């Protein structure tokens, strides 16, 4: 079995499924967990309180009390409870499957770009994420009126296919300045700091400790000890972008208002304000600062120990060997 999850779902007034919250998703469960499921077929099905009682006993007998506690905790839930079982990592055909895979990413069970997310945009509906939970956008007007009648205010934080990460998963050992800027499905490694203007998309994130003050686009993975400066950008593959997924290595620095459309190896720096795209002409310099050749930046993709900067006299983009390692301020980034 590839994965399974027992989750609590929310429905719109017309019965359409809006989201699923999985308190403890299981990735590649062992034989004991699979046996406790009692041969549950692959797919998505709603489970009753009686089913939950049976699952709780089976999980307890299998020696997995944490899963037993989840099953017992779902008994008597306000909304429907669903059991989602994925035998293989195939294309997504149901909203509950999409949410399970997003949870697997944010629980750090899987790294970005390792899951089959084909079909995710087709199955995920636009949802109004509000102070009273997820709602269908068409239902917000009536609910807002009811709230005002009660003397309350219904706040709509966003209308989007993806909810904020922190409403579903709080990864251990991270600092997040503004939770609305991190989508469910983001993978934040232990020790990551995301400042208030930082943004992390689904199926993207960090391997470990790092400082994120810029944007990590879908499909981009940032290595440990790297720093994305204020408003820095990493080019993703959505919205007509390229098809090659880029990555950032360890101990890299992308300066404020800078960006990259190529992969960086380890210990690379892009100076503040410089955006390096795949087609950017780059003048490669030797150790003495003499010109060696001019190439498209894509030819340098993935190489380590590079420093990209713009020549202040003639405006050309230059690349030379980076002789300085980027080190994070350990006191500043301590998470205790």
pLDDT tens, residue by residue, 28-62: 999 999 999 998 999 999 999 999 999 999 999 99
CATH, range 3-123: 3.30.70.2010
Going by C-alpha positions, the residue among 88, 72, 90, 94 that lies closest to residue 6 is: 72
Residue 213 catalytic?
yes
DSSP code per residue over 31-62: HHHHHHTTSPPSEEEEE-HHHHHHHHHHHHHT
Alpha-carbon span 14 to 57, nearest angstrom: 34
Tell me, yes or no, if the two domains 3-123 and 165-321 fold the same way.
Answer: no
The pLDDT profile of the chain, 336 residues, written as one tens digit per residue, is 999 999 999 999 999 999 999 999 999 999 999 999 998 999 999 999 999 999 999 999 999 999 999 999 999 999 999 999 999 999 999 999 999 999 999 999 999 999 999 999 999 999 999 999 999 999 999 999 999 999 999 999 999 999 999 999 999 999 999 999 999 999 999 999 999 999 999 999 999 999 999 999 999 999 999 999 999 999 987 644 456 789 999 999 999 999 999 999 999 999 999 999 999 999 999 888 899 999 999 999 999 999 999 999 999 999 999 877 655 545 444 555
Q: Return the domain boundaries, the chain.
A: 3-123, 129-160, 165-321
Q: Judge residue 15's burial from the number of C-beta atoms within 10 Å of its C-beta, 0-12 exposed, 13-18 middle, 19 or more buried.
A: exposed
What is the signed CA dihedral for 201, 206, 210, 212, rounded to 10 degrees?
A: -10
Catalytic residue among 66, 142, 213, 318: 213
The span from the CA of 165 to the CA of 181, in Å, is: 9
CATH number listed for the domain at residues 165-321: 2.160.10.10
Instruction: Identify the H or E element spanning 309.
Output: strand 306-310
């Amino acid at each position: 079995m590839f994965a399974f999850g027992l989750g609590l779902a929310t429905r719109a007034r017309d019965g359409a499924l809006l989201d699923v919250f999985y308190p403890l998703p299981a990735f590649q469960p062992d034989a004991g967990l699979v046996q406790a499921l009692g041969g549950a077929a692959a797919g998505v099905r709603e489970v009753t309180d009686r089913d939950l009682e049976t699952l709780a006993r089976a999980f307890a007998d299998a020696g997995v009390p944490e899963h037993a506690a989840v099953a017992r905790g779902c008994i008597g839930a306000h909304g429907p409870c669903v059991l989602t079982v994925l035998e293989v990592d195939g294309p997504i055909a149901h909203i509950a499957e999409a949410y399970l895979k997003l949870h697997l990413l944010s629980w750090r069970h899987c790294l970005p770009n390792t899951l089959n997310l084909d079909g995710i945009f087709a199955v995920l509906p636009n949802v109004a994420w509000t102070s009273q939970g997820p709602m269908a956008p068409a239902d917000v007007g009536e609910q807002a009126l009811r709230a005002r009648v009660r003397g309350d205010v219904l706040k709509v934080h966003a209308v989007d296919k993806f909810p904020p990460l922190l409403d579903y998963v709080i990864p251990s050992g991270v600092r997040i300045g503004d939770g609305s800027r991190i989508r469910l499905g983001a993978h934040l490694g232990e020790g990551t700091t995301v400042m208030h203007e930082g943004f992390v998309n689904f199926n993207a994130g960090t391997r470990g400790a790092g400082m994120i003050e810029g944007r990590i686009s879908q499909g981009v993975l940032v290595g440990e000890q790297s720093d994305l400066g204020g408003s820095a950008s990493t080019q993703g593959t959505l919205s007509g972008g390229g098809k090659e997924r880029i990555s950032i290595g360890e101990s890299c620095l992308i300066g404020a208002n800078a960006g990259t459309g190529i992969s960086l190896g380890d210990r690379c720096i892009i100076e503040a304000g410089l955006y390096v795209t795949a087609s950017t002409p780059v003048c490669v310099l030797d150790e003495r600062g003499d010109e060696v050749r001019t190439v498209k930046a894509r030819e340098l993709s993935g190489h380590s120990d590079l420093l990209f900067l713009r020549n202040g006299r003639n405006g050309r983009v230059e690349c030379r060997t980076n002789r300085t390692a980027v080190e994070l301020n350990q006191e500043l980034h301590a998470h205790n």
